[in-house]
Chains A and B, each alone.
Chain A
């Protein structure tokens, strides 16, 4: 199933109703939030469903107080708080959750920029964990582009058509998304 949805920036600006804006943004970013939770709860889909519902409810209940025309950063804050509450409440992990290793991630960020990573490096569990954590920290748009291009094998022409933007814009955004991934790796906490 495709992870892509069209860019909503113009639609968001046109919306005067913050609740409708939040609802629209939630729907647009749902795959990214789901991925973010899934990676961090060890793939437990029931827990992910719970967290996604709580994200929906909490954002909807607090939407009236929203002032920012782009609610995505606000939704990410709620998502992180929910995850933190979840971990605090559970007080234990299943052991399947990827563990952030900042030193390893930093070295990986350097190599990501300067050398071709060999397949045996990419096959290591701890390396994959750092990459998963970093990719799922990206914004919804950045994730959609990187995943569309590198995981689903879509061409820039296809991406441009799906996202309703020019090929030149796809190219520029992909470039920035690659930089963003490197930054996430370098600063993985």
Chain B
């Protein structure tokens, strides 16, 4: 057996004989186990970046199908023998990805912030002809009044796109009714609105719903808060969910979820039922870290322009407008506009007071009822509470967010998945995968229209 290539090789040969006796090699994988590696839950129409299985050549399709059948048979045999666990996380994630190419409904429930909560449904029906799917979304942002005399504010967006319908309904706030306790809602219905536009910027379609809404009368006042940072969270959540319903993006989204999960385990519930548990989504923590590294805001504050209208007769500030540099928004730092310290008794006192402290002050007195004063470089206090809130929220979310995926091994299919632990009230997003029941009444825009609804388009 020994060859004569060189003298050292004889020593290598002898050493390998000893190594072969002394070294415990990992056991070889049997045929069943090897077959399972190639049984990754792929189904026709699966969502993949690049070429899909049905774009492959016939030979490859046949080969894959044959492999799949062989793997399924191997799995069946394996189950008959009663192993502890044969479904891996990769299989479940791949099946989840495949299931997203079919009909699905997403339910958003109980996602709460301090004064806002989010509810909603996103439904995609793909039971019809290819390319003729029906999509429906309805999202409510409920803003709690900080004064019990006032109603809560239910901002709604509903959008429908089907082979026969395309519309979007929005309801936001337009101001206060004459009486106390009522807020006037603005309503609109846009016919022909595209889903793609909605998916790009879902919160932009809520009409008038700024970060903070304040209403007041002689007797009472109310504030509704939906802060910029909360909007960021909700917007990201909605875009994430809408990307899941999009065949072009769903594969990458699931790959990101899979890569981000720090802990993943698959639990066998009964013979053919498995549940994948994923948690510790590390990328959320990384995002919180990035947000915390905001630059020094001193320079940014000096660039910000603050404009306010001052009524010398009533000695009140009537309106304020704040135009911060973009970087302030990007870093999540706001400037506190507390003007309580301003001497408002006379313009002659107010303007010099500002000039002593600010870099530039321009006073426009062309309207005797209202002075317009523009100020830059005033040493307003900066408010980074929003930034801190976002950092804390994302850090907490990393620890609380879990994903469970229910996998049916007999059908090689995922039927349901759920994200839980969103926010302090254990908000959840549930995905039911497979045929959906979509009430035709819901698809009709007329169900939303009231006499106050402004209708745009035909």
Contact = CB atoms under 8 A, between A and B. Distances in A.
Interface stretch (B36-44, B172-180, B242-250, B297-305): B36-44
A85 B259 contact: yes
B368 interface: no
Contacts of B29: 30-31, 34
Interface string A24-48: 0011001100110011000100100
Given A61-B48, A175-B5, A3 B85 contact: no
Say what secondary structure dominates the interface of chain A.
helix
Interface of B: 1, 3, 5, 8-9, 11-20, 22-26, 28-30, 33-34, 36-38, 40, 48-51, 56-57, 59-60, 63-64, 67, 85, 88-91, 94, 259, 261-262, 266, 282
Interface in A64-117: 64-65, 85, 89-91, 112-117
B17 A150 contact: yes
Contacts of B261: 89
B16 to A, nearest CB: 5
A53 B33 CA distance: 11
A91 B262 contact: yes
A62 B22 contact: no
Contacts of A146: 16
A62 B15 contact: no
Contact of A17 (B5, B12, B48, B60): B60
A20 interface: yes
Contacts of A147: 25
Contacts of B57: 17, 19
Contact of B40 (A53, A91, A119): A53
Interface in A113-131: 113-117, 119, 122-123, 128, 131
Contacts of B89: 50
A122 B22 contact: yes
A113 B23 contact: no
A180 to B, nearest CB: 11
Contacts of A34: 26, 28-29
Interface residues of A, number: 62
Contact of A113 (B12, B26, B34, B282): B12
A94 to B, nearest CB: 14
B36 A49 contact: yes
A50 B33 CA distance: 11
Given A17-B59, A178-B9, 12 more contacts: A19-B60, A23-B63, A23-B67, A31-B28, A46-B266, A53-B91, A57-B90, A62-B50, A64-B51, A113-B11, A175-B9, A181-B12
Interface of A: 1-3, 17, 19-20, 23, 26-27, 30-31, 34-35, 38-39, 43, 46, 49-50, 52-57, 60-62, 64-65, 85, 89-91, 112-117, 119, 122-123, 128, 131-132, 135, 146-147, 149-151, 153, 155-156, 171, 174-175, 178-179, 181-182
The 8 closest A-B pairs by CB, nearest first: A150-B20, A53-B90, A38-B26, A122-B22, A52-B37, A19-B60, A178-B12, A49-B88
Nearest to B6: A175
Contacts of B9: 175, 178-179
Nearest to B94: A57
Nearest to A18: B60
Given A19-B56, A115-B11, A117-B15, A53 B282 contact: no
Contact of B8 (A46, A90, A113, A122): A113
B282 A20 contact: no
A56 B37 contact: yes
A31 B31 CA distance: 10
Contacts of A153: 20
B244 to A, nearest CB: 19
Contact of B23 (A17, A20, A23, A122): A122
Nearest to A124: B22
A55 B38 CA distance: 9
Contacts of B8: 113-114
A155 B26 contact: no
A149 B15 CA distance: 13
A2 B29 CA distance: 10
A56 B48 contact: no
B262 A46 contact: no
Contact of B90 (A30, A50, A116): A50
B295 to A, nearest CB: 29
28 contacts: A2-B28, A23-B63, A23-B64, A26-B38, A31-B29, A35-B25, A38-B26, A43-B26, A46-B88, A49-B88, A53-B36, A53-B37, A53-B88, A56-B38, A56-B40, A61-B49, A90-B262, A114-B8, A116-B11, A116-B14, A128-B22, A128-B24, A149-B16, A150-B17, A171-B3, A178-B12, A178-B13, A179-B9
